[in-house]
Structure 1
């Protein structure tokens, strides 16, 4: 299969109501709002859907997950995780969705349809316990860097993108906007 035929899924996961826990979802929202992707690329706010993500995951050839991870780094450190490292980083119990994501990937594997490539771009959180629709200032500042990293991964996988404009505006509405006023 040529790279341009690969079905690429950008999956942002997390809970936007718990500060940095929503980082992956916020990245997916920003990517969808700012860029139009080639037909072989889908951007999905996976929230805390867990096993409901089996269908979209099984339909993809190249899965790019964005989430927070506890990986013994400093707050704001970004990690590219594959295989066993991905499993270790996703296994922490303080998250509302991490173990669901591992279970979902395991179920896809049992059904024989796991993407050829699964990459997790994780960021070490500052705060994932307090209720707030705002990201911590440290993670808010890391959003452009993470978006650039994900866009490069999309290109590497055979996808493309263009900046949105008045002629190709975003069609999705963000229902719980980030409270960035808290970060000033």
Structure 2
């Protein structure tokens, strides 16, 4: 598989998932926190992939190395982390999908393989969710706690790949954020309404009467 020289050194870090469904936001929260804590060399890009699916293809094809954070249903204890590498990642993500974004992202990885533009190194750091059926909810404590180990693993990998992570010395400006500042974790949790006045299982406008 060819790896053009102009992308060999490019490192892409992707957080994927849906913030609005509790633990499914794990990957996005990881990328958000990583950016708040660290700065990296110019050849490193951090991306809030959200639920974009096939729209992420260019980022994958242009990456020499790809690190992915995501919530994955392994059938294990909530908060358990599992690492999957290289060509096993697309096959693994297709084994037990828990959301549409994983279907789309598996197709992105398979397309990168078929076009021979697959990164030379890929690492998926996945976390077993505890709760997904909580619309407007946030990460459960066990999953939020697992973020620390996931980030430590991610930073160690990025250091080995030559990303040159260093502690962020200046606060991150709102316009620099990889995600939506309005959905930043502390703001999201601080401003959400209590369960007594907000539907937590979906959009109640579409529930049958």
TM range, normalised to the smaller chain?
0.7 to 0.9
Partner residue, 1:87? 91
Matched, 1:109 2:113: yes
Q: 1:133 to 1:90 in 2, by over 3 A?
A: farther
> Highest CA radius of gyration, 1 or 2?
2
Where do 4+ consecutive residues of structure 1 move more than 4 Å? 179-182
User: Are 1:90 and 1:102, in contact at CA under 8 Å, matched by a contact in 2?
Assistant: yes
Partner residue, 1:62? 65
Partner residue, 2:14? 11
Give TM-score scaled by structure 2 length.
Answer: 0.78
SS at match of 2:130: coil
* Greater relative contact order structure (CA < 8 Å, 6+ sep): 1
Give TM-score scaled by structure 1 length.
Answer: 0.88
The alignment's C-alpha RMSD in Å is: 2.2
Matched, 1:31 2:34: yes
- Aligned length in residues: 179
User: Are 1:22 and 1:135, in contact at CA under 8 Å, matched by a contact in 2?
Assistant: yes
Query: 1:1-184 residue pairs with structure 2 within 5 A?
Result: 6-82=9-85, 83-84=87-88, 87-166=91-170, 169-170=172-173, 171-172=176-177, 174-178=181-185, 179-180=188-189
SS at match of 2:49: strand
Consecutive unaligned residues of structure 2, counting only runs of 5 or more, are 193-209
